[in-house]
A and B are shown apart, each in its own frame.
Chain A
């Protein structure tokens, strides 16, 4: 569905052109979850930005990015707006950058759906409530009435996910969506994101620095370093038989020991009435 081929991107600088991406090729199939894993400066975020065409203005881009055969690199104006409204949505690390600080959550979500899908404001408001339930929020009315500054980071990121799935996009791009969150909140938000993706049959391109986190929710993982994809594989294969030295380094720099041994994992008893969401 998404097909990136030989994508290179460079930015003119004081000391000549700076190569950010070199010959990046990757695909995301319909309904598939694909990880893009690398450390800071590896080019993973820039790869996402070139899909939504939010790369820096002075960037030189070569190669091709197509979504269901449509060339995204030549898209502009209304077709580009339609792409962003209906086909591809994005979740970033910082929910504050997305949400409007002076709009209550309910109005923010409703106006977005009114604009993008032409729902009446009343219908959009009802739908906003449903979406919040879908992302695991219990106190829907309180959150709908709240302003962003009144909610925690984990709650805000759920709101952003609700907004991102509202238009039932084919592809969701997620750029380190849980990096700013506490570890327990991260696990919850990732579980919610994964559930939503499966329910809606969305494809996901998930950018993260955490190989284990990517392995938890992705069918396939691309490992990126210095603007290049150095290895692609299914999570088990990367873990057990990493081919590229850098993948091995990433794997080995994860602390090994008691925390990782299977018998150390706590086996909490799950109270009756709770679903076990293990897949």
Chain B
């Protein structure tokens, strides 16, 4: 299988330019994305951090082609992601970019053994025969740290962390260059969260993957991201290297997120929160 891209590390893998998207609910018009631009260098991990309503999930869905922008462009691995695409283009896209969701249930059929989710991707996106696919499934399971005996398990027989490993194996089956991780560790217990983050980090290094990591949780960002963008109400309010944004936050909203993130010795402080909220409002 050939990778769809021969981009060298460091050149842009994802380029988002002036993306705008509004949603209408009744009379209200909400700007989910307001002129958002960003680039993700090949082989790096960009974390998009924001709270509910920040537009981070809309951004992710447009980048993988699940949603259409009002205006602006997205290019992944040098190809424009158009909302209207023929079968060939959709296939090509699936071999370039894959997505892992918060809830692995959404990509697993609860009536079928979990290997079928991986096998299906191999059937569609590779020309491997039955036996070769079976072997590839085992390899992929091993890659995400699942023993072969789990191949025939039903989703409900696995823990949340194990199911998320299957979802990652499924994403890897298409041999993509980019994986979009939308709150992929948010539903997991904290001890399991660490294991999945470590797995994702290892896979990125081993396979030279590019990650777009969507999260509300600043504490996981520093473990995985090279760069961060902070979003609020459809706009990017701050961006930079992970250490800079977390260590020397410039925008009051980033400061607020950091002031509110529980950590050892932390106390919630109403005065500090109110002062920062006032500063954001002005």
Known: A182-B51, A255-B219. A188 touches B264 (CB 8 A): no
Find out whether the CB atom of B268 lies under 8 angstroms from the CB atom of A259: no
| Interface contact A216-B272, CB-CB below 8 Å | no
Is B25 close to A, CB under 8 A? no
The answer to whether A136 has its CB under 8 Å from any CB of chain B is: yes
Q: In the complex, A249→B191 CA distance in Å? A: 7
Using Cβ atoms and an 8 Å threshold, which residues of chain A touch B271? Answer: 270, 274-278
A141 CB within 8 Å of chain B: no
Do B272 and A268 touch (CB < 8 A)? yes
The residue in chain A whose Cβ has the minimal distance to the Cβ of B249 is A266
Count residues on chain A whose CB falls below 8 Å from chain B CBs: 46
Confirm or deny: A195 has a beta carbon within 8 angstroms of a beta carbon on chain B. yes
Q: Which residue of B lies closest to A214 (CB)?
A: B262
Q: How far is the CA of A188 from the CA of B267 in the complex (A)?
A: 11
- CB interface residues, B 123-174, toward A, < 8 Å: 160
> Quick check: A253 and B190 within 8 Å, CB to CB?
yes
Which residue from chain A places its CB closest to the CB of B274 in the assembled complex? A274
- Selected from B189, B190, B218, B267, the residue in CB contact (under 8 A) with A259 is B218
Task: Give Cα distance in the complex from A239 to B264, angstroms.
Answer: 8
B216 at the interface (CB under 8 A from A): yes
A186 vs chain B, min Cβ distance (A)? 7
B106 close to chain A: CB less than 8 A: no
Q: Is B264 a contact partner of A39 (Cβ separation < 8 A)?
A: no
Cβ of A239 to closest chain B Cβ, rounded Å: 5
Task: Apart from A253-B190, A276-B269, list 20 A-B contacts with CB within 8 A.
Answer: A183-B217, A183-B260, A183-B261, A184-B256, A187-B259, A188-B260, A191-B269, A210-B262, A215-B265, A249-B191, A254-B219, A255-B194, A255-B219, A259-B258, A264-B258, A268-B255, A276-B271, A278-B267, A278-B269, A278-B272
**A-B complex: 5 closest residue pairs judged by Cβ atoms:** A187-B260, A212-B262, A39-B189, A191-B268, A182-B51
Interchain Cβ contacts under 8 Å between A and B, 5 examples: A182-B51, A210-B262, A255-B194, A259-B219, A271-B275
